[in-house]
Structure 1
Amino acid sequence: MKVFTPVLVFQKMPSGKGKDKFSIQCLECFGKNLYIGTKEGVVEYLTVNNMSSEESLSVRDVGKRQMGRSGAISQLTAVPVLNHLLVLWDCSVTVLNMFSLELIPALKKIQNVSLFYVSESLIAASTKRKTVSIYKVCVDRWDCVRQVALPQEPVVLAVHGTCLCVATCDRYFLHDYQSQTTLYLFPHNLGKQNIIANKRRIHFKWAWMQALFEMKNGTSQHPPVQWPDGVVDAAVHFPYVLALQNQTVHIYSILDQQLKQTVSLQSAKFLISTEESVFVVADKEINRLSPVPLENQIQELVKRQRVDEDLHKNVICTSGMIKFYREAFVDAKELFIKGELDPREIISLHPAMPVMSEDFAPQTTAVSNAKDLWTLSRDDWPTFQQYLIFLDDFLREVRLTGQGQRCPQDIDSALFKLYLEQGEYGKLDQLVSSQNTCNLQMCVPDLEQHKRFFTLGLLYQSQGQHFNAIQTWVKIVEEQSEDPSHISVFQHIVNTLSNLEHKPIIWKFVDWVLQRDQEASILTVITCLSTAEEEVLTILTNYSVAMTVYLEYLVNELHSKEEKRHTMLITSYVKQILHKLQQLLWQSSFYNADAIYGEPNNTSFLHVEKAILLGKSGKHKKALQVLVHEEKDQQAAESYCWRTSAGRDRKFTEGMFLTLPQIYLESSHRIIAAVDLLNKNEASFDLVSVLRVLPDSWSLKLVLRFLCESLRGTVHDKRMRGLEMSLAKVETLRHKHVLMEATHEKRIDRGCICHSCQKRLTGPEFLRRPTGELTHISCHGGESGH
C-alpha cells in the first residue's frame, strides 16, 4: 500500500568555494516552522508552506543564528506556548525566540547537559553527573524542581508523564520520579558507542514504544517487528513504524506488524516524526513523508479487492466496546485504533461532550454489558472519572492520525470541553495555543463563563485572529480581571507584538503598550518597525524614555552616523538630567539653596558640558576660560588640555598647554596656579614660548624647577636625536655591507692576488689602473674563471 508520499523540502546546493562543510545534525518542526541545526554550530530557520501536501510546496529562508565558532548543534526543541526554541550546544541548553532567533536573556543557560526532553516540564540529563534534572519552564525563568540520581550514565532519554525511560550503556529501565519506583525492562550488549552512534534510536525508540504502549509488567504482549538488516534509525507515526536504511525507508503497521510500503531515499541518516508527517534527513537535504488521506487508502483497498477488511474492523470495534464497558481501557483503546473506530462514537457516549458534525449518526453495534455513562456520572463519580481519563487518552492518541482526521473539530472541541470542566488548565492552554480546530462559537462563551480570558486570547491567536487575541489580553490588563494566569499578561502582549508579521495590528497597539511601560515596549518598536525610523521617531515624540532607548539603539547598536540621530540623543540626555535636577530642587527641602547658587565657587551648572561643546567647535581658549573663570576648577582645565591633546602632534599639545597659563596670568590671584601648572607638566611646554609669555617681574627662583626640568628634557631630547641619527647611519652601513656581499665581484689587494683562487691577476684592465688602488675586477684566472 501507499501510506506515505515523499517530497523534497530542503536541499543545500554546493557553494563552489572550496570544501563545503555544511552538514545537518538535528531538526525541529512545528507547524510550518522548520529549524535546522548544523555541524558548524548554526541554527537555520525556514518556513514551509502547505505542510500537509506535496503540491504548491514553497520554502522560505527566514534567518539563521551562529551559536559559536565551532561545535555541532546536538538537539533542537520548540516550546510554542512560550515562543521558545531550546538549543543544546556545547553541553548547555540555550533559549532563543522561536521567530527572531534572539537570545532570551532572562533564561540563563543550563550547563552540563548531555540530552534533554520537553514534556510538561524540561527534563535535562547529565552524563557526567549521572543525574536527570526536572525544570519548570516559564516565560521568563525556569526552576529546578527535582533531581533524580541514576545508577548509570544516561545515554538516551524519553519521558511519558512522570515516567522516565532511560537507556544506559547496558540496559533499559523505566523510573517514575514521583513514586520513586524503577522497572528494569531488559539488558543489551550493544556498547555505549553503538548506542550513541546509530543503533540507539532503533533499539531505544522501539523499546520505548513497547514499554509504554504494549507492555504490562515488562512483558510484551505482541511479537516484535522484524527489522531489515542495516537499519540506522526508526520513528513512530501512529499507526506506523518507519525503519531507515541508508537508501530505503521501510514502513510497518503497528497493528499487524506487516510491511506496508518502502520508499527509496539517498544517503538519509535519521528520521524525525511530527504530528503531520515524518522528515527524512540527510547531510544536505530534507525529505518529508506525508500520510496519504484515508479516503485514498480505502480506494486502494477496493482496487485490491480487500473490502472484507471493513467487516473485520467492525468486529474489532465491537470487541473494543465490550472491553470499554469492562473498564479494560488499555485493551479497548488498542482495539478501537486497530478497528479504526470513528472517535465521535466514543465522544457521543459521554455526557455534555459536544459532537459538532450535524450529519453524524452512531454506527456501533450494541453490546450486552453497555453502561449509561450519564447515570454513572451522577451515581459513581470515581468510576466515571476513569472513563474521562480514557477519553482524553484515546482522543489525544488518534487526534493527528488518519483516524482522527475524519472529525478534527469534534476531537478538539471535546478535548477543550474535557480540560475546561476538569480544571486541567495546563493541558487546555497547550491545546488552544497549538494548531487546533476548536469551534469558536462553543468555546468562547465557555471560556468567558469560567473567566479564562488569557486562554481565550490563546485560542484567538491559534486560529489567526491576532487582533481579537491582543484585544482580549489588553482588557485583562486594563480591567485587572481575575484571570488566574501565572504569567505576565502585559509582557506576553509585548512578546506577541514583537513576533507579529502583520504591521497594521502592531501600529494599533504601539501607543497602548508605550503608555504602560516605555522601556519594555520599545523592544516591540525596535524589532518590528525598525525599517520605518522616521515613523517610529514621530510616535515616540511624546515618550521621552522610549525615545532615548530607541536613539541609543540607533547610535550604539546600529552605529548610525546621521548627525540628527546623535544630536537628538544628546539633547535627550540633557533634558533628562535637567528634569531630574529640577524635580529634586522642587521636591527636596533639605538642601542649602545659598550654598548651591550664591557661593562664589558654585554659581551655575553645566560649565564642563559647555566647555566640551566649545572644544568640539575648535574654541579651546573659550572652553578653558569657562573652566577657569566660571567652573573655577583648575584640575578640570588641566584634564581638558590632556584629553584634547591626546593623539595630536607635539606642536598642538604645546600650543594647548601654553593657552592655560596665559589665562591664569590674566588675573593676579592665579599666579600660583600658573606656577603649579608649569612645574607639574614641564614636558608639555615649549621652553622658549613659555619664557616669552612670563612676566618680567617674575624671579628666577619662582620658575627654577620648571627651567631645570625643561632644560634637562631639551638636552635629553637632543642627545636622543643624535643617538637615533648614529643608529640610522650604522643601519645604513650594514645594509650597504650586505648589498656588497651579495654581489659576485671580488676585491683585490695591493699584491694583485685574487682572494678566491689565490692567483695573480693580470690583464689590460687591471694594468691600466693606478698602482696601489683598491678596486673590483672580474677574475678570469684558473680553468673555469670567476
Structure 2
Amino acid sequence: MRSTFPRSSVLVLGANSVQSLVPSTLISQVESLLDSHRIEDALDLAVRQRKKLQANISIDEDEADELRYVYQRIGFQCFAETRFVEAMNCFFDGEVDPRLVISYYPELRGSMFTSDDSMDVFAGVAERMPLEASVEDIVRNYSPHLSPNTRSAPSTAELRKILVAEANEKLELFLTRWRARWKVEGGDVAGGSTNTSRSAVPCLEVVDTVIAKLYAQHEKTQELYNLFHEPHQISVSEIEPIMKRNGQYNALCMLYTEKGQDTQLLEVWAKLIDGEWTDEDIKDPLSDMIKLLTEKRDRTLTQHWGLWITKRDAERGLQANIFLLSNPSH
C-alpha cells in the first residue's frame, strides 16, 4: 500500500525545531480503537469513511487502500473473537483474498493451496491474523464467557458446534457474495476477466470448489445443481469425496458429464443399479448407461460394460451389445 501522509496547515516554530500538527489518520484511529476493544466504534468509523469515499466523483486509490486495510484489520479481529457475522462482512468490504479466510477451514481448503502460494495481504493485517490453524481452534480457544474453556468443559460442546456451524454458514455467504461481485465487475468465471487491475483468477477454482463443498455438506442440492449449470471452475478431485460421502450422486454425474469423465460416470451408475448407492434424482441409471454407450460407441467401454449390463438385464444388454458391435466407432 502506498503511504498517505496527512496534510497540516499548522506549523509550530521552536527555537531549534519546526513541528507540525497533523490529524490522526484513519488507520491510526482504528488501530487505537481496536487496541481498546472498541470494535463497534471502529466499524462506525470505517462505514463513515466508506460513505465519504463513495460520495466523491473519483476514488483516491490511496484512501481506498486505507479503507481496505481498516476493514481487513477489523475483520480478522472479529474473526479471532468468533464474531463471524461482522468478520465476513468486513472481509467482503475489505476485498480480502478469499483464500486467506478459507485457510482457516482445512477440510474445505483441501490441497488446493498452501502457505507457499502467493496471496496479497497488508503487512499490518498479516501480523495480526489469528495464529490458530482452524476455525475449530479459534472457537475452542476463545471463550471469554465460559469457564474453563470449550476444550475441557463438556457442557459447552453444543455451543462450540453452534459457533462452528455459524462460521461455515457465514463463510458460504461471504464466498457467494464475492463470486457475485466478481461477475458483476467484469469477471468471467470460466477463466478470464476484463478487469485486470485487481485480478482474482487464482481464487476462482478455490471459491467455486469451496462453495460446492458447503452446498454438499449442508444438503443444498438445488443450489448445487444451479452452480453446476453456471460457468465454473470446480475441482473434480476436491469435490468427489465429499459428494460421495453426502450422497450427492446426481450432482456428481452432472460434473462427470461436463468434464467428459465417462468411466467415472459409468461407475456411479453401476453402484446405483446394484443398490450400493441411491439417489432419487437418478430415475433409471441402466437406461442412462445404455444411452451413453450408444452415443460414445467406444469399443473398450462396450466390451466391459456391455457384458456387465447383460448379467443384470439379459434382454436389454443383448440388444445394446448387438447395436454397439454392429455400429462400432473405434
TM-score with structure 2 setting the length? 0.51
Deviation per CA, 1:539-591: give whole Å up to 9, x if none: 4999xxxxxxxxxxxxxxxxxxxxxxxxxxxxxxxxxxxxxxxxxxxxxxxxx
> Are 1:442 and 2:256 matched, yes or no?
no
DSSP 3-state at the match of 2:212: helix
Q: Map of 1:149-548 to 2, 5 A cutoff?
A: 257=54, 306-307=61-62, 309-326=64-81, 328-354=83-109, 356-358=112-114, 359-360=117-118, 363=121, 364-367=125-128, 373-375=135-137, 376=139, 379=157, 380-402=160-182, 405-432=201-228, 434-450=230-246, 452-461=248-257, 463-465=258-260, 467-468=262-263, 470-490=265-285, 493=288, 505-508=295-298, 539=323
Q: For 1:407, what is the secondary structure of its paired residue? A: helix
Rounded Cα–Cα distance in structure 2 between residues aligned with 1:478 and 1:314: 55
Greater helix share, structure number: 2
Residues 399 and 411 in structure 1, CA contact (< 8 A), matched pair in contact too: yes
Q: 1:260 to 1:390 in 2, by over 3 A?
A: farther
Given the superposition, is the C-alpha separation of residues 416 and 310 from structure 1 closer, same or farther in structure 2, using an over 3 Å criterion?
same
Deviations 1:575-610 (A, max 9, x none): xxxxxxxxxxxxxxxxxxxxxxxxxxxxxxxxxxxx
User: Which residue identity lines up with residue 203 of structure 2 in the other structure?
Assistant: C
1:317: how far off?
Answer: 1.3
In structure 1, what is the Cα distance between the partners aligned to 2:79 and 2:206?
A: 20
Which protein has greater RCO, CA pairs closer than 8 Å, 6+ apart?
A: 2
Q: CA deviation at 1:408?
A: 0.9
Contact 1:456-1:469 at 8 Å conserved across structures? no
Structure 1 residue 517, shift from structure 2 partner: 12
Query: Aligned partners of 1:540, 1:314: CA distance in 2, in Å?
Result: 63
Separation in structure 2 between the aligned mates of residue 541 and residue 443 of structure 1, nearest angstrom: 36
Alpha-carbon RMSD: 4.8
Q: Aligned residues, how many?
A: 228
Q: Kindly tell me: are residues 464 and 258 of structure 1, through their superposed partners in 2, closer, same or farther at Cα, counting changes over 3 Å?
A: farther
Structure 2 CA distance for aligned equivalents of residues 493 and 539 of structure 1: 16
Is contact 1:333-1:394 (8 Å) kept?
A: yes
Q: 1:486 to 1:453 in 2, by over 3 A?
A: closer
Q: Distance in 2 between matches of 1:540 and 1:362?
A: 55
Stretches of structure 2 lacking an aligned partner (at least 5 in a row): 1-46, 141-150, 152-156, 183-197
Q: Distance in 1 between matches of 2:102 and 2:237?
A: 19
Q: Which has the higher strand share?
A: 1
- In structure 1, the partner of 2:148 is none
CA distance in 1, matches of 2:206, 2:314: 42
Distance 1:457-1:492 versus aligned 2 partners, 3 A rule:
farther
Secondary structure of the equivalent of 1:340? Answer: coil
With structure 1 as the length reference, what TM-score do the two structures score?
0.24
Contact map agreement 2:294 2:324 (CA 8 A) in 1: no
CA contact (8 A) 1:457 1:472 kept: no
- Give the greater-gyration-radius structure (CA): 1
* CA drift at 1:436: 2.5
User: CA 1:392–1:347 in structure 2 vs 1: closer, same or farther (change >3 Å)?
Assistant: same
Contact 1:467/1:505, CA 8 A, preserved across alignment: no
CA distance change for structure 1 residues 360 and 423 in 2, over 3 Å: closer, same or farther? farther
TM-superposition CA deviations, 1:47-86 (whole Å, max 9, x none): xxxxxxxxxxxxxxxxxxxxxxxxxxxxxxxxxxxxxxxx
Secondary structure of residue in 1 paired with 2:259: coil
SS of the aligned residue for 1:353 comes to helix
Kindly state the Cα deviation for residue 393 of structure 1 after the two structures are TM-superposed: 0.7
- The SS at the match of 1:488 is coil
Instruction: Kindly provide the amino acid, as one letter, of the partner of residue 204 in structure 2.
Output: P
Aligned letter for 1:342? Answer: D
Q: Contact conserved, 2:269 with 2:286, CA < 8 A, in 1?
A: no
**Alpha-carbon distance in 1 for matches of 2:130, 2:239:** 34
Q: What displacement does 1:345 show?
A: 1.2
By how many angstroms is 1:309 displaced? Answer: 3.0
Going from structure 1 to structure 2, the CA distance change for 1:540 and 1:329 (only over 3 Å counts) comes to closer
